[in-house]
A and B are shown apart, each in its own frame.
Chain A
Amino acid sequence: MKIKTNLAAGALCLAVSVIVWILIPYQIGEVAGGTITSDARLFPRMFTVLMGSLGIVLMVMSLVFHKEVIKEIQVNQEARVLGYYAIVFVFTILIPVCGFLIAAILFVVASLIYLKSRNKWHYIASVCVTIAVYLAFSKGLGVRF
């Protein structure tokens, strides 16, 4: 699958800027009788307009001037990458449920299976490193998981 990156990036920036512009009045309070220096909305609006303008520039470059940078992606591959990301997400959900160490060990084992590792020493080494990382953070740095 080919992505027209200028068009896609431009559309993304424009869409995000529109959403942020709509959100600003709801997320940022207004100071009554305020001046430009006390206006908390000023810079968010400026940055939003800048982002939206650049989005339009990118779209014009693509659609009008036909200056485009094409990126080719393999959908299957990207789906697998997102699959790994989903495993990471599940790991973070499990941390408060069964504790960091158990969740981490389950995560590395699941990752190795997903990444098609068949070498038992990979599993052993990864679990050992996981325990070492846990100990380094919990005992060495005093982090309370």
Chain B
Amino acid sequence: MDMFLQGLQNFMDFRVILFSVVGMSVGIVFGVIPGLAANIGIVLFLPVTYVMEPIEALLMLLGIFCGATYGGSITAILLGAPGTNSAAATVLDGYEMTKNHQAWKALMTALAASVVGGVISALLLLAAAPTIASATIKFAPPELFTISAFGLSVIAAVSGKNFWKGLAGGAIGMLLSTVGSDTMSGKTRFLFGNIKLSTGLSMSAVLLGIFAMCVILDKTRELFDQNQEKIEKITFSHEDRLSWKEIVGCTPLMLKSSLIGCIIGIIPGVGAGIASILSYNEAKRTSKTPEKFGTGFIEGVAAPEAANNAVTGSALIPTLTLGIPGAPAAATLMAAFTIHGLTPGPLLFKTSGSQMYSIMIGFLFLNFAMLLIGYVMCRFFVNVVRVPSEVLIPILTLTCIAGAYSEAGSMIQVYTLLAFGLMGYIFSLVKIPSIPIVLGFILGELSEFNFRRSLVMSDQSLGIFFKRPICVFFIVLTFVFIFTLTADTGKLKAKFKKGRES
């Protein structure tokens, strides 16, 4: 209780609230622009947060996370193209509503549903995370290693169809994590004569290169690929409103979809995209009027939007308590937490309890703030999509490079960014997914460190991992996870596509 009150007190600071709101607004903008997503927003603004206090910085980045998840629905509804993959299901009814001159109603439905989903997941985070953290506090290096190994198995889940390529990407990421000085022996690894690499590769430069530069190059390719259609200014009718009766009528569905999103979010590596598809299918299946789905039905917008925002908070539960990312964007947030001195894992709540409560309370505030920001700024955010790509591309590139440089005031980070950008580009040509590389990079160092500490404890015996019940549990879970979840997501997406085509 003391930590909760102290956390609340730390949160009630003007700068903290200001940066949270700024992060939410930036996130919505990133969600609106097709091709950009929470990941890109987080990595681009990560260098900006170096001069901030940890709570301000992390709430700003969490604001980007939440805002981008909601923002994807705006383009999904208005243009029929989801701004982020979490809004893929929203297109089905959202765009139809726009065609039926009900664009504003669709946007407000998406906003209300996103807020409901986000608040429920934030409350779950506030209640569950400290409880789980207190249970995991006794984890020793063997348990921490098997948890990291389970986290690496998440690579299989996020790889989907590209299972073997995903694992290869994970192996590449793990190999990259060995660059620098070995903590156990002090030996340097892969420095190539450059002493500035002794502290390892810059995480923000790696993230900027793999995510942001790849997206920039993709947008460059699209620019050369087709004639861009000019997007006309979007206006709304005053008669097109969402009534209280409609909100109340959708509330049970939003609550159910939020629950689906929370459960999906806790499962590592699955993400908001699957949650929105699942909840849309479930809403249609249990609806009294399933034939209305796909024709511009308000429930077809409410269900996926409640679910995808419900993923945001619940995905942070395994991320913060176990150090296993609950969603792809959570992997980049893990990096952000680590950079700001709050290493996710079982010890996080013990060492930084009041700061974590500030962040969780701030996360709850963010979801309420999304209601006000979304309502006021929606009309302006929609026109962000009209920014021409030929202007956006160099500005984004410039921001990446300035961001990479700002970390240490050295060009080495910029060259790291360029190298990883080129690597990401080559990997995209051969379809090696990038999220596993990042996961491998983050978890590789942790797994190596805990593995070797475990061997010190057991006097070089590997049996230690099979004698401890929690270790055995996570080893079994790892194998089960790899074999079951990847198959299910593939079938689910195929079923969804088939339903959409019919």
Contacts and interface: CB of A to CB of B under 8 A. Distances in A.
Interface stretch (B119-127, B237-245, B332-340, B424-432): B424-432
Contacts of A100: 402, 405
Interface stretch (B1-9, B167-175, B275-283, B478-486): B167-175
A43 B448 contact: yes
Contact of A47 (B174, B187, B391, B456): B174
Interface in B183-208: 184-185, 187-192
B401 A92 contact: yes
B225 interface: yes
Interface in A101-127: 104, 107-108, 111-112, 115-117, 119, 122, 125-126
A71 B429 contact: yes
Contacts of B185: 31, 34, 38-40
A79 B163 CA distance: 29
A84 B184 contact: no
B406 A137 contact: yes
Contacts of B217: 81, 84-85
Contacts of B368: none
A54 B223 contact: no
A36 B453 CA distance: 11
Interface in A74-102: 74, 77-78, 80-81, 84-85, 88-89, 91-92, 95-96, 100
B50 interface: yes
Contacts of A50: 167, 171, 174
Contact of B187 (A6, A31, A81): A31
B460 A85 contact: no
B414 interface: yes
A130 B401 CA distance: 12
Interface residues of B, number: 64
Contacts of A89: 418
A39 B187 CA distance: 9
Contacts of B411: 92, 95-96
B425 A28 contact: no
A23 B432 CA distance: 24
B197 to A, nearest CB: 11
Contacts of B414: 92, 95
B397 A44 contact: no
A50 to B, nearest CB: 4
Contact of B164 (A57, A74, A111, A142): A57
B399 interface: yes
A137 B409 CA distance: 11
Contacts of A111: 390, 393-394, 397
Contact of A9 (B168, B390, B444): B168
A143 B402 contact: yes
Given A28-B190, A31-B187, A54-B167, A73 B429 contact: yes
Contacts of B247: none
Contacts of A92: 401, 411, 414-415, 418
A71 B444 CA distance: 30
Contact of A44 (B175, B427, B455): B175
Size bin of chain A's contact surface: 35 or more
A54 B171 contact: yes
A contact face: mostly helix, strand, loop, or mixed: helix
B103 to A, nearest CB: 27
Contact of B168 (A23, A55, A130): A55
A37 B184 contact: yes
A15 B113 CA distance: 49
A65 to B, nearest CB: 12
Nearest to B52: A141
A29 B187 contact: yes
A26 B207 CA distance: 28
B49 to A, nearest CB: 10
Interface in B361-402: 388-391, 393-395, 397-399, 401-402
Contacts of A145: 405
A37 B141 CA distance: 13
Given A36-B460, A81-B224, A141-B51, A47 B165 contact: no
A105 to B, nearest CB: 10
Interface in B421-461: 421-422, 425-427, 429-432, 444, 448, 451-453, 455-456, 460
A104 B225 contact: no
A77 B224 contact: yes
Interface string B320-361: 000000000000000000000000000000000000000000
A57 B224 CA distance: 35
B200 to A, nearest CB: 13
A9 B430 contact: yes
Interface string B211-249: 000000100110111000000000000000000000000
Give 4 closest A-B pairs by Cβ, nearest first.
A111-B394, A40-B182, A40-B187, A115-B390
21 contacts: A5-B431, A6-B165, A8-B429, A27-B188, A27-B190, A27-B192, A39-B185, A44-B175, A44-B189, A47-B175, A71-B431, A81-B217, A81-B221, A84-B220, A85-B217, A85-B425, A88-B397, A91-B401, A115-B390, A126-B395, A143-B405
Given A58-B164, A137-B402, 10 more contacts: A9-B165, A9-B430, A13-B168, A44-B175, A50-B171, A50-B174, A88-B418, A96-B411, A112-B391, A145-B405
